[in-house]
Amino acid sequence: MLESKRVLVVVAPFYRDIADMLTQGCVDRLVEAGVEATVTEVPGALELPIAIRIADEMEGYDGYVALGCVIRGETSHYDTVSNESARGIMELGIGAGLAIGNGILTVENMEQAQVRADPLQKNKGADAADACIALMGMHDSATTRRGADRQPTFLPDSEHIQMADGDTRHV
């Protein structure tokens, strides 16, 4: 099933060495899973959700992975970039139902970034690919269930619900 999937990996290469390691780990994992991966770049982490939104409107990939790195500095810019890039990705995932693996590292220093990005160490690029793959699978499962004219999965199979307080209610 994954063989027919297309994933766009969007990379913010502000820290080129870190971005390259994240990309390597991510693409290797996607290819290993049989997914067709395309890589594109944007200037920085704030542009990642915007690029994903544009790509989804233009191309309609099955999934997306956002990769980048934000290292704390002397100003509050770190907080803005970290929070807003994460918020933008979450809004696309929740609001638009996109399968997005978030591989934006938010770290205190370059050493932390290197350990997390390195495919031979923490391999967070591969982790982001795994998240995207899992979300695509959930999306496929939900689509299949809806197509089978089934009740939503959060409802019980019977007409009665056992409440936490012991009461039984009819639905």
Domain-by-domain residue ranges, the chain?
2-170
Give the pLDDT of residue 147. Answer: 57
Question: Residue 149 contacts by C-beta under 8 Å, 6 or more apart in sequence?
Answer: none
134 and 102 Cβ atoms separated by less than 8 Å: no
Structure letter (DSSP) for residue 122: T
100 and 63 Cβ atoms separated by less than 8 Å: yes
CATH superfamily, with its number, for domain 2-170: Lumazine/riboflavin synthase (3.40.50.960)
Residues paired with 41 in a beta bridge: 11
- Of 61, 62, 66, the residue nearest 137 (C-alpha): 62
Find tokens 């199979």 and name the residue. Answer: 157
Give the pLDDT of residue 167. Answer: 55
Residue ranges of alpha helices (H) inside 59-123 are: 77-95, 110-117
What percent of the chain shows pLDDT beyond 70?
82
51 and 14 Cβ atoms separated by less than 8 Å: no
- Which strand (E) or helix (H) includes residue 22? helix 16-32
Quick one: pLDDT band at residue 27, thresholds 50, 70, 90? very high
Question: Is 30 a residue whose pLDDT tops 80?
Answer: yes
Give the pLDDT of residue 60. Answer: 84
| Mean pLDDT calculated for residue range 61-87 | 97
Give the pLDDT of residue 150. Answer: 46
Give the pLDDT of residue 3. Answer: 74
Give the pLDDT of residue 154. Answer: 43
Q: What is the pTM of this model?
A: 0.83
How many other C-beta atoms lie within 10 A of the C-beta of residue 154?
5
**Residue 160 is among the residues annotated as catalytic for this protein:** no
Q: What is the DSSP pairing of strand 160-162 with strand 168-170?
A: antiparallel
Find tokens 């766009």 and name the residue. Answer: 8
- Mind listing the pLDDT tens digit for each residue in 108-167? 999 999 999 999 999 999 999 999 999 999 988 877 666 555 444 444 444 555 555 555
Give the pLDDT of residue 63. Answer: 98
| Mean pLDDT calculated for residue range 19-26 | 98
**Token duo for residue 48:** 């990642």
